[in-house]
Amino acid sequence: MVKENEEVFNIMKFRHLFWLVDGLLYSKDEDGIRRLVVFQVLVSEFFRDVYDDKYHFGKKRIFKDLAGLYFRYKAYLVYLYVKHCYICSMNYIDNRLLLKTLQPIQTFFQSIYTISLDFVTTFFTVLSKGTL
């Protein structure tokens, strides 16, 4: 039996230390921040709590609310959850044209009569220190 506040095991492959506190498993990452470990089957429940119940504010808000939690592939799962959100897709306005409707810009053919080039030959005197 593992005692409370005792290091449970050390996985050097992932560089995480794990602790058991009050029956909950915590992980300490390389920055020294202790996070609650969430099992993969409960991740969708947490997403529902921090995204759906808080008016669909976006990925940055989810990351802020999930900062104290640890689960694998957090960034990828948040991206997928926001991308496939039904309510957000209903409110999204896409003004892009379909690829098959895009046409090249029509320009009038004119031969070049005059080419002008401007050269800087002198600088103006400026009364500021450290300038030309």
CATH classification of the domain holding 17: 1.10.340.70
pTM more than 0.75: no
Domain assignment present for 59: yes
d(CA 129, CA 117): 31
DSSP label at residue 43: H
Give me the number of domains the chain comprises: 1
Domain assignment present for 127: no
Residue found under tokens 């609650």: 36
- The amino acid present at 116, given as its one-letter code, is S
- Tell me the pairing of strands 69-70 and 34-37: parallel
**In this structure, what token pair is assigned to residue 123?**
């600088």
Please tell me whether residue 19 adopts helix, strand or coil conformation.
strand
Does the pLDDT value for residue 14 go beyond 60? no
Domain assignment present for 56: yes
Domain assignment present for 75: yes
CA 67 and chain centroid, separation = 13
DSSP label at residue 128: S
**How much is the pLDDT for 10?**
52
Domain assignment present for 71: yes
Query: What digits encode the pLDDT tens for the residues 91-130?
Result: 767 677 777 777 776 666 666 666 667 777 777 676 766 6
Does the pLDDT value for residue 4 go beyond 70? no
**How much is the pLDDT for 131?**
60
Percent of the chain beyond pLDDT 90? Answer: 2
Domain assignment present for 124: no
What number is the average pLDDT over the span 81-100?
77
Phi, psi of 37 (to 5 degrees): -85, 125
What number is the average pLDDT over the span 87-94?
74
Domain assignment present for 129: no
Reported as a pLDDT band with limits 50, 70 and 90, residue 51 is confident
Query: What digits encode the pLDDT tens for the residues 53-64?
Result: 777 787 888 889
Range of the domain at 59: 6-93
Domain assignment present for 122: no
**In this structure, what token pair is assigned to residue 78?**
């948040």
Question: Higher model confidence: residue 50 or residue 89?
Answer: 50
